[in-house]
Homo-oligomer: A and B are copies of this chain.
Amino acid sequence: METKGNLMSFRPDIKVVDATLRDGGLVNNFYFEDEFVKELYQANIKAGVDYMEFGYKASKELFDPAQYGKWKFCDEQSIRDIVGNNESDMKIAVMADVGRTEMSDIPDRSESVVDLIRVATYIHQIPAAIEMIEECHAKGYETSVNIMAVATVRTEDLDQALDMLGQTNVDIIYLVDSYGSLYPEQIRALSKKYLAVGEKYGKAIGVHAHNNQQLAFANTIEATAAGVSYLDATMMGMGRGAGNCALEALLSFLKNPKYRLIYALKFVQDYMVPLKDNGLVWGYDIPYMITGFLNRHPRTAIAAIQENNRNYVEFYKEAWDREN
């Protein structure tokens, strides 16, 4: 395989995106202490992280604010309480799900400390995603689009969606392995496909991996070697179910001297280990491997692990019969 860059040097086009609050928020319903968020913000700045994603811009009509922590909604003031005017080189991102966001909740860029709106879409929502992208772009934001669950999408549909997105004002198109089902050779092939669209239309390509088969780090660095430049990761891999690519692993791999692994390690030992000690559960386990290789949503695996059900044989037999 042709690789972009090599293991002794670094590529200045690479951007590390910390998604701890957003994907990790799916573990604790977005209930993070303010101290945690402030320290994460400082740790990311010191570690050289390029973007920090604070959470979702979820609709308060569709989701009851009494049922979630504030990072499900990411009010402008909530973010400013942490970052002030964000006097740093790190950019601020939020995620907006197609169909679950009120566009009126997104102010003009000139009134916001947010830099990047990440539009998350399923394949059948591409036209709605494009409308959101263009509106966010018109408001002055950088935009990215995450096509979720790509391993369940027909190739013809994906090709068409990528071509449609290429013609929008979106800045970054993300390859997203929602179910952690893709093997490195598939990630390389998909990276090549996305990068070809990126080259044609002048878009950067990103990768967001899940660890269901213990492949999140491997798939992230393989996408990187293929030329992908926006790399999602979370502290200690915190994220729904099996979690994500661990930020500390990613920084240990990257060679740009701006990245300072030690500050990520410090945050992990001081703030992430206590979350685990206090009972939050995420990370690789065998039921995730099973939903992963079967290319299924991990919800049944999450339930099995919450119930401490270790009957892997029954789980496998059921998972295999079940529809997505």
Contact = CB atoms under 8 A, between A and B. Distances in A.
Interface in A137-196: 183-186, 188
Contact of A249 (B3, B211, B214, B273): B214
A68 interface: no
A30 interface: no
B225 A214 contact: no
Interface in A1-59: 1, 3, 7
B217 A262 contact: no
A215 B217 contact: yes
Interface residues of A, number: 43
Interface of A: 1, 3, 7, 183-186, 188, 211, 213-219, 221-222, 225, 236, 246, 248-249, 252-253, 261-262, 265-266, 268-269, 273, 284, 286, 289-290, 293, 310-313, 316-317
17 contacts: A183-B221, A184-B184, A184-B221, A214-B216, A214-B218, A214-B246, A215-B217, A218-B218, A236-B286, A246-B289, A262-B313, A266-B313, A268-B312, A269-B310, A269-B311, A269-B313, A273-B310
* Pairs A-B, 3 closest by C-beta atoms: A218-B218, A1-B1, A265-B312
